[in-house]
């Protein structure tokens, strides 16, 4: 696991500690993702539904081992998480094309998830802000993410938080933001 980042802010919303996920967090992280996928399904969304069938396109377990997963804990409870990949995944290459390569200066944000009992607390917004302001990655200057183009709420959320719409490809909206910006 390479340590090519500096944590600037290790507490958000006064109650939540931002920490690099460790192997012993794997079960809690996967439970959080499953809980989120089930909730999305209950809301009529097919987003993340592959997780319910045992498929994980972002290889979360491997991402934990690589040091790409950050968890936000309240006490011992994993309240939220985010994957911040310093190297683009096959999915990122599919969406970003030639712009996505290991030395492109971008971090790729995936799987921002909040335990339902912490929903509506602002934790998701705080994690999104933390990803661009609370941590610095060596040689990286841009945060990239994607979401379903038909999810108006999520698209508006990213735009409202300073992400610039880059384009739409295969039903997904792509966004980016300079690291260190509000």
- The CATH number of whichever domain residue 143 belongs to comes to 3.40.630.30
Which residue ranges in the chain fall short of pLDDT 50? 1
The pLDDT value recorded for residue 28 is 97
Give the pLDDT score at 167.
96
Query: For residue 101, what pLDDT is reported?
Result: 79
Residue 26 is predicted with a pLDDT of: 96
**Pairing of β 106-114 and β 77-85:** antiparallel
Give this prediction's pTM: 0.94
Residue 3, pLDDT score: 61
Give the start-end residues of each E strand in the chain. Answer: 5-7, 11-12, 16-20, 69-74, 77-85, 106-114, 135-137, 142-148, 164-169, 172-178
Cα four-point dihedral sign 16, 128, 134, 161: negative
SS3 of 147-174: the string is EECCCHHHHHHHHHCCCEEEEEECCEEE
Q: Specify the pLDDT at position 67.
A: 95
Q: How far apart are CA 42 and CA 1, in angstroms?
A: 36
- Total number of domains in the chain: 1
pLDDT of residue 151: 87
Strand 106-114: give its sheet, edge to edge: 11-12, 16-20, 69-74, 77-85, 106-114, 142-148, 172-178, 164-169
32-67: pLDDT as tens digits: 999 999 998 898 888 888 999 989 888 999 999 999
Rounded to whole angstroms, the Cα distance separating 38 from 106 reads 30
What is the per-residue pLDDT for 2? 54
Tell me the residue range of the domain where 160 lies.
5-178
In this prediction, residue 102 carries a pLDDT of: 65
- Give the percent of the chain with pLDDT over 70: 97
């Amino acid at each position: 696991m390479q340590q090519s980042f500096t944590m600037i802010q290790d507490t958000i919303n006064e109650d939540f500690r931002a920490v690099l996920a460790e192997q012993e967090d794997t079960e809690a992280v996967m439970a959080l993702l499953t809980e989120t996928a089930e909730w999305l399904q209950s809301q009529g969304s097919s987003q993340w539904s592959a997780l319910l069938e045992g498929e994980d396109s972002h290889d979360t377990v491997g991402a934990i081992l690589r040091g790409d997963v950050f968890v936000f804990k309240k006490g011992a409870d994993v309240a939220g998480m985010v994957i911040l990949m310093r190297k683009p995944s096959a999915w990122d290459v599919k969406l970003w094309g030639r712009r996505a390569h290991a030395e492109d200066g971008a971090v790729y944000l995936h799987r921002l998830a909040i335990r339902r009992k912490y929903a509506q607390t602002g934790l998701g917004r705080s994690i999104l802000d933390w990803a661009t302001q609370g941590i610095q990655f060596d040689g990286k200057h841009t945060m990239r993410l994607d979401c379903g183009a038909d999810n108006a709420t999520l698209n508006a959320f990213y735009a409202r938080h300073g992400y610039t719409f880059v384009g739409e490809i295969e039903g997904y909206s792509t966004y980016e933001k300079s690291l260190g910006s509000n």
